[in-house]
């Protein structure tokens, strides 16, 4: 992305995001949580087809529960800038925490690979997010895309959209590109 800054149309960027959302919908439908979704873990071919990679932190969620959750043990490192507040605070990972990470991926893609939260320390990122700070829209980002990012970053995980809704929203954007 960084090498192609400004060379992709918004329609191409949205198409890439749609591809990632489709993969994440499939993973969530199969009761898996990725736990390390970030632009660095998205492989893109010459046709801009995106593939999610690095499943090293992925876990199967027990679907017999009303709220399938994976709780990680203490000691493992987590990617703070991409991790939902409840996953940082309580080490509880769900599809909703992957949705949070997906919102950060959206921001990374539309900003052409800019580092989320720029040069803030991890501690400063955690404090800012806990105090309801959210990343601003990248330059030339359509309002509808930034609104979707903000929905992905809702503090209450139950208020975040499901991947099926994200896919539907992006499908509409692909059919009628934002201005």
Q: Per the residue annotation, which of 36, 54, 132, 171 is the catalytic one?
A: 36
Q: Rounded to an integer, what distance in angstroms lies between the CA atom of residue 144 and that of residue 18?
A: 14
Distance of CA 25 to the CA centre of its chain: 12
CA distances to 24, 71, 77, 121 from 74, rounded to whole Å, are 26, 9, 9, 21
Is position 36 annotated as part of the catalytic site? yes
> What is the total residue count of the chain?
179
The rounded distance, in Å, linking the Cα atoms of 111 and 152 is 17
**Cβ atoms of 35 and 52 closer than 8 Å:** no
Joined together, the tokens standing for residue 73 give 């043990």
Catalytic residues: 36
């Amino acid at each position: 992305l960084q090498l192609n800054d400004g060379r992709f149309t918004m329609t191409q960027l949205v198409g890439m995001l749609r591809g990632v959302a489709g993969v994440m919908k499939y993973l969530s439908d199969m009761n898996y949580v990725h736990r390390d979704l970030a632009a660095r873990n998205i492989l893109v071919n010459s046709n801009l087809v995106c593939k999610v990679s690095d499943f090293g932190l992925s876990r199967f969620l027990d679907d017999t529960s009303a709220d399938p959750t994976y709780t990680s043990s203490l000691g493992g490192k987590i990617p703070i800038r991409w991790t939902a507040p409840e996953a940082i605070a309580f080490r509880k990972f769900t599809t909703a925490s992957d949705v949070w990470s997906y919102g950060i991926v959206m921001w990374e893609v539309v900003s052409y690979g800019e580092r989320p939260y720029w040069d803030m320390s991890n501690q400063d990122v955690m404090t800012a997010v806990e105090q309801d700070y959210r990343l601003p829209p990248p330059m030339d980002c359509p309002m509808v895309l930034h609104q979707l990012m903000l929905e992905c970053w809702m503090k209450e995980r139950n208020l975040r959209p499901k991947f099926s809704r994200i896919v539907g929203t992006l499908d509409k954007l692909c059919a009628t590109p934002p201005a």
